[in-house]
Amino acid sequence: MTLYTIAIDAMGGDHGPSVTVPAAIMALEDDANLSIILVGDPAVLNRQLRLKKVAVPERLKIHPASQTVAMDEPPALALRGKKDSSMRVAIDLVKDGQAQACVSAGNTGALMATARFVLKTLPGIDRPAISAMLPTMKEHTKVRVLDLGANVDSQPEALFQFAVMGSVLSSEVDNIDRPRVALLNIGSEEIKGNEQVKKAAEILKASSLHYIGYVEGDAIYQDVADVIVCDGFVGNVALKVTEGVAKLVGHYTKLAFNRNWFSKLSGLAALHVLKGLRKRMDPAHYNGASLVGLKSTVIKSHGSANDLAFKNAINEAVLEVKKNIPERIQEQVIGLLKESDSTL
């Protein structure tokens, strides 16, 4: 029996141990091959475990860390001044081989900066990217989008590297034989877009990736591509707009069904359908963004994640460890990058 060990930044995120501890317990209950190291203040973590009133599994360990990275803390300050933070120690455990992956709901900038400094990038990869799954209109089908905020301004070569990494993730994790790769643009026509996107398109056309061209923002959810590539500025805006629209739809739906007694009765009649819709659109089911391009697996959970959402981030880490994603990316990226040399 193979045990997979995940180091968790238990103090990070908006809710800290009140979410990370119960999520860890749920993950352990679901997977007998999983071992977890909770990193943080032992007194706080043990108190949270007592509150859960469950037998603590032998596969759950606590590793002390005396500092915590604040959600609004500058990444450089966290990197230089908090070497004993729960985030840094969790990443160090991965570097030292005591864990195969790290999961954190903490400060995104600090997590990326620390993980890149400690774990380093894979050969051939200049910058890591944040990759996450988003739902599509086709049932049980999702799309991988990257970068979602790690790199505000990306050169064509970096966009190509994102495409390579996204294609490997889609192939290995999502079991898609030949993932369709697209570039997010302001139009689908060849003449549209800035110079970085146009140059990236030329490189992708010359590669062996299954590049299908440009897509606009509305196509993200239409199952026209398996991997959609953009720079971090555009990707993060798209992600936040998606979250905002989901909240807006939920808000107006609630108002509509509470307008009067007739609409309330209609809401009761449609309750089963509404619950199904909410479940399919619940961000908790899509939580767990990969920091791809690093030599080891690091998963970023949403800062406001609840127990279920954080558990899903842990599940994503386990899946990527089982699939040896960093190794698979390294195997494929060198050959694909060599193919593009003539166009760079």
Domain shared by 323 and 269, yes or no: no
Q: Of the candidates 316, 163, 296, 169, which has an alpha carbon nearest to the alpha carbon of residue 228?
A: 163
Residues 292/121, Cβ–Cβ less than 8 Å: no
pLDDT of residue 120: 95
Instruction: Give the number of other Cβ atoms within 10 Å of residue 241's Cβ.
Output: 11
pTM for this model (two decimals): 0.86
Residue 215 is part of a domain; what is its CATH number? 3.40.718.10
pLDDT category at 286 given cuts 50, 70, 90 is: low
Quick one: average pLDDT of 161-168?
Answer: 92
pLDDT of residue 242: 80
| pLDDT tens per residue, range 318-337 | 999 998 889 888 887 777 66
Element of type H or E holding 4? strand 4-9
Spell out a b/e string for 290-310, using b for 16 or more CB atoms within 10 Å of the CB, else e: bbbbbbbbbbbbbeebbbebb
pLDDT category at 205 given cuts 50, 70, 90 is: very high
pLDDT of residue 31: 92
| pLDDT tens per residue, range 189-199 | 888 888 999 99
Give the Cα separation of 209 and 178 in Å (integer).
8
Domain that holds residue 89: 1-125+293-343
Element of type H or E holding 107? none
Where residue 140 falls (left for φ over 0; alpha for ψ -120 to 50; beta otherwise) is left
Alpha carbon separation from 116 to 110, 120, 298 (Å, rounded): 10, 5, 10
Element of type H or E holding 184? strand 180-184
Domain shared by 321 and 309, yes or no: yes
Instruction: Phi first, then psi: give them for residue 226, nearest 5 degrees.
Output: -95, -25
pLDDT category at 204 given cuts 50, 70, 90 is: very high
Give the Cα separation of 235 and 220 in Å (integer).
11
- Whether pLDDT at 237 is above 80: yes
Domain shared by 66 and 148, yes or no: no
List the single range of 260-264, 286-290, 317-321 with lowest mean pLDDT.
260-264
Domain shared by 38 and 89, yes or no: yes
List the single range of 20-24, 47-51, 119-123, 274-278 with lowest mean pLDDT.
274-278
Residues 245/162, Cβ–Cβ less than 8 Å: no
- Whether pLDDT at 277 is above 60: no
| pLDDT tens per residue, range 61-71 | 999 999 999 99
Domain shared by 282 and 297, yes or no: no
In terms of DSSP bridges, do strands 289-292 and 210-215 run parallel, antiparallel, or are they unpaired? Answer: unpaired
Domain shared by 270 and 154, yes or no: yes
Residues 235/159, Cβ–Cβ less than 8 Å: no
* Total of domains in the chain: 2
pLDDT of residue 91: 97
- Alpha carbon 227 to chain centroid, angstroms: 14
Alpha carbon separation from 173 to 33, 115, 176 (Å, rounded): 19, 22, 8
Residue 197 in tokens: 């996107």
pLDDT category at 55 given cuts 50, 70, 90 is: confident
Domain shared by 248 and 282, yes or no: yes
Quick one: average pLDDT of 22-28?
Answer: 94
Domain shared by 203 and 252, yes or no: yes
Tell me how far apart the terminal alpha carbons of the chain are, to the nearest angstrom. Answer: 46
Quick one: average pLDDT of 33-58?
Answer: 89
- Whether pLDDT at 313 is above 90: yes
Axis crossing angle, helix 325-339 with helix 156-172, rounded to the nearest 10: 130
Domain shared by 144 and 278, yes or no: yes
Domain-terminating residue out of 256, 287, 318: 287
Domain shared by 173 and 263, yes or no: yes
Domain-terminating residue out of 264, 287, 310: 287
Domain shared by 21 and 164, yes or no: no
pLDDT of residue 246: 76
pLDDT of residue 25: 94
pLDDT category at 2 given cuts 50, 70, 90 is: low
Quick one: average pLDDT of 282-299?
Answer: 82
Please report, as a single letter, which amino acid is at residue 22: P
Quick one: average pLDDT of 108-113?
Answer: 93
Domain shared by 320 and 233, yes or no: no
Average per-residue pLDDT for the chain: 87
